């Protein structure tokens, strides 16, 4: 597989994590640099890890994983997005929008499930996994860090109610994943 193909795959896989990074950047008020780096590292790490797991799983688990991956992503993103909207409407001024490690891990898993399928396809095509994993992880890290920083600027410019937009983005990503996999 040539490097351009791998790069295009990496960009495609990074888009959900990029959008979530923007949404989370909107809500974070404190520790922005630390949170942005943490999210980018987790998203990049999981986007790199999942193809390896898919590649290792190979043919044996393909049908099982493909049967539930979209539901897992939909539920996780829906819950997290719904909570963002609820918190914004409730007007909890004490909420600093800080992202917990647990929430970040859930988002990283939810946005990287497609990468698991890519890893399965690499296994079926007898493609080496090392270079694609490095490219996928690096591209995702860079996109997510940039997306988070962009989101923090939006949050600063538009204030607290922009959390509703961030929550809607997460829910819409979950719905898109569900529709893409069920139609």
pLDDT-derived band at 94 (thresholds 50, 70, 90) equals very low
- DSSP-based helix, strand, coil % in the chain, nearest 5: 85, 0, 15
**What is the C-alpha to C-alpha distance for residues 97 and 37, in angstroms, rounded to an integer?**
15
> Per residue in 137-156, pLDDT tens?
999 999 999 999 999 998 77
For range 60-78, the mean pLDDT: 71
Collapse the DSSP code of 166 into the 3-class scheme (helix H, G, I; strand E, B; otherwise coil) and give the result.
helix
Domain coordinates in residue numbering, the chain: 3-182
| Over residues 38-49, mean pLDDT | 97
Q: Answer yes or no: is pLDDT of 69 > 80.
A: no
Q: Are 174 and 73 in contact (CB under 8 A)?
A: yes
Residue 166 confidence class, pLDDT cut points 50, 70, 90: confident
Place of tokens 């393909």: 62
State the alpha helices, DSSP H only, in 28-127: 32-57, 62-90, 101-124
């Amino acid at each position: 597989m040539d490097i351009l193909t791998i790069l295009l795959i990496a960009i495609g896989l990074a888009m959900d994590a990029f959008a979530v990074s923007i949404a989370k950047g909107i809500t974070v008020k404190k520790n922005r640099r630390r949170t942005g780096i943490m999210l980018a590292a987790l998203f990049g790490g999981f986007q790199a890890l999942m193809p390896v797991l898919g590649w290792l799983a190979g043919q044996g688990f393909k049908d099982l994983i493909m049967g539930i991956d979209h539901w897992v992503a939909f539920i996780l993103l829906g819950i997290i997005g719904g909570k963002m909207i609820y918190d914004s409407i409730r007007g909890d001024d004490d909420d600093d929008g800080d992202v917990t490690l647990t929430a970040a891990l859930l988002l990283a898993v939810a946005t990287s499930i497609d990468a698991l399928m890519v890893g399965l396809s690499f296994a079926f095509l007898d493609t080496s996994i090392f270079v694609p994993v490095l490219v996928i992880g690096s591209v995702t890290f860079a996109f997510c860090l940039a997306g988070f920083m962009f989101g923090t600027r939006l949050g600063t410019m538009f204030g607290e109610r922009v959390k509703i937009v961030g929550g809607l983005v997460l829910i819409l990503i979950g719905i898109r994943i569900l529709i893409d996999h069920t139609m």
